Amino acid sequence: MPRVNVKDKRKQQLIDANIASIAKRGLSETTIAHVSQGAGMSRGIVNFYFTTKESMMQETCQYLADEYVSTWERALEKHSGNTSEATLRAIVAAHFTSSVCNQKKLAVWVAFWGHASSHKPYQKIIAACDAAFDSKIREIWSQMENVQLEADVFAYEIHALIRGSWLNFLLSSQASERDALAAKCDAFVSRSISNVSAAANNLVASSDAEQAPVANNVTDLATAKSEKTAAKKKAKHIKEEKTAYCDLFALGK
């Protein structure tokens, strides 16, 4: 086996050990010793791949971000030939696969989120990761027909819902909760699409309603004109009958 593959494998083992330690102890309490023991390697090997604890933390954060993006990108590629709606649902569902939505990795994500406000490298990695997802969601939503809800609004809402669902799963001890949370997010997509359809239907109904009075006015005018003509004919007929009666009366005298 080439040396580079051995190095990659060992580095992956160290990152996995770091993830396990952060999930158990947090970022601040995790040490290089914890990682080397968790990976079953010497401290010297850890130092070979990561010059400092901070570089190890940043690479671990980047690894999680890359893994997350790759997960929903694979779902995107798999459903590339489907409708925008099917693709959207597939990307949302990808957030609840066991490789991403598991308590250990979510605990590490939360740890990095907690430090991101005061730690620019973490903040930059997370921001780029979120921006990639938001951009793709906006792109797909914009391809939906009869869209009334703005793409930025929908992207923000579905992103917030996914993050909230992740936190709920982190606090849950049941793996089955993953499917339930995924279903709730999918239901939110359905409601958003239904609202779009309802808004489109209301727009059509409103347009028809605006045109209806015009049609009714035309009908009313035609009816009034017809009734007026009939009234004139009736008055003329009555006048003719009255004249005839007068003539008969005059003849009788």
* pLDDT (tens place) for every residue of the chain, 253 residues total: 333 344 588 999 999 999 999 999 999 999 999 999 999 999 999 999 999 999 999 999 999 999 999 999 999 999 988 899 999 999 999 999 999 999 999 999 999 999 999 999 999 999 999 999 999 999 999 998 876 789 999 999 999 999 999 999 998 867 778 999 999 999 999 999 886 545 445 544 455 555 545 445 545 555 655 666 666 665 555 445 444 434 433 333 3
Rounded CA-CA distance 112/166 in Å is 14
pTM over 0.85: no
**Residue whose pair of structure tokens reads 């669902």 in the numeric block:** 165
> Cβ(46)–Cβ(35) under 8 Å?
yes
Write the DSSP assignment of 124-183 as a string of letters. HHHHHHHHHHHHHHHHHHHTSTT--S-HHHHHHHHHHHHHHHHHHHHH---TTHHHHHHH
* Nearest partner of 157 among 101, 92, 99, 98, judged by Cα: 92
Q: 48: burial class by Cβ within 10 Å (0-12, 13-18, 19+)?
A: middle
> Cβ(71)–Cβ(27) under 8 Å?
no
Rounded CA-CA distance 61/15 in Å is 9
